[in-house]
Homo-oligomer: A and B are copies of this chain.
C-alpha cells in the first residue's frame, strides 16, 4: 500500500489518512506531494489523485481517496476492531462523530488551518469558532464518559481508533491557536499530541521547509522543536 499525502505541516486530511494507515498496522509507503509547488498547481502532481485532493491510498492498483473512505477501507482490511468500538451504541456515536467531523465544523477549519510549525497566542476566536469548539468538547466528553472511561484506556471510545484519528487535527488546532477548553478536553488534547503516531508526524512536519502562502493567519509565532518538544 502507498498513501499520497500533502505537506505534513498543513494537510490535516493527510494526517487523518496517514494515521489510519499507521493504525492498520499494515505495511505502507508514504509519498509526499508538495502543495502549491509548480507541479501541484499545474496538476502534474495530482495525476494519481482521482478527486484532485490528498490523501489517496493506493492498494492493488486501486485508488481509495478521502480520509473517511480510507478509514472504512482499512477497517475492512485490518479488522474493524482496530478502528471502531464493538458495542453497537458506541459505534453509532463514533460513526456520527466522524461523519460530522468529515462534513462539518467549517468555521473552525477555515479560521484555524492546521499549521504545526507555528502557534498563535493572540488568536481571537469568533463566536462561530467557539461554538464549534464547544460542540466538539461536548462530543468528546460524551464519548469519554459513556464509553471511553470504562475501558481503562484514555481514548474517545477506549482503544485508539477512527474517532481519535478524525479529531486529531482538531487537537493540534486547539493547541496551536490557544483555544480555550475545559480540563477534560485539554487533557485529551495532550494525550493525542503525545500519541506515538501523532508525535512522529509532528516531528517530521517541523522539518519541512516548503514555500506555502495559502494560510496567512495573523499573529503567527514560529516554534522550534526546542521550544515545543
A residues lining the B interface (CB < 8 Å): 50-51, 59-60, 62-69, 72-73, 76-77, 88-89, 91-93, 95-96, 98-100, 102-104, 135
Point out the residues of chain B lying under 8 angstroms from A62, CB to CB.
89, 92-93
Complex contacts, A92 vs chain B, CB 8 Å: 59, 62, 64, 69, 73
User: How many Å lie between the Cα of A65 and that of B66 in the bound state?
Assistant: 20
Knowing A76-B88, A91-B73, say if A65 contacts B96 (CB, 8 Å). Answer: yes
- In the assembled complex, the Cα of A73 lies from the Cα of B97 at a distance in Å of 12
Least CB separation from A57: chain B residue: B92
Known: A66-B95, A68-B95, A76-B91. 15 other contacts (CB 8 A): A50-B96, A51-B135, A60-B89, A62-B89, A64-B92, A66-B99, A66-B100, A68-B102, A69-B95, A69-B98, A73-B95, A76-B88, A77-B88, A99-B102, A102-B102
**Chain B residue contacts of A77, Cβ below 8 A:** 88
- Which of A62, A65, A69, A92 has the most C-beta atoms of chain B within 10 angstroms of its own C-beta? A92
Q: How far is the CA of A91 from the CA of B73 in the complex (A)?
A: 8
Please indicate the chain B residues that have their CB under 8 angstroms from the CB of A98 in the complex: 69
Residues of B within 8 A of A76 (CB): 88, 91
Contact B63 A96 (CB under 8 A): yes
- The residue that A64 contacts in the complex, of B63, B66, B95, with Cβ under 8 A, is B95
How far does the alpha carbon of A73 sit from the alpha carbon of B94 in the complex, in Å?
10
**When the two chains form the complex, which single residue of B72, B100, B102, B104 contacts A95, counting CB atoms closer than 8 Å?**
B72
Contact residues in B for A66 (Cβ distance below 8 Å): 95-96, 99-100, 103
Chain B neighbourhood of A99, CB < 8 A: 65-69, 72, 102
Please give me the residue from chain B that is nearest to A80 by CB atom: B76
**B contact residues around A95 at 8 Å (CB):** 64, 66, 68-69, 72-73
The residue of chain B having its C-beta at the shortest distance from the C-beta of A63 within the complex is B96
Residues of B within 8 A of A104 (CB): 51
In angstroms, Cα B88 to Cα A92, docked, is 23
| Residue numbers in B under 8 Å from A73 (CB-CB) | 91-92, 95
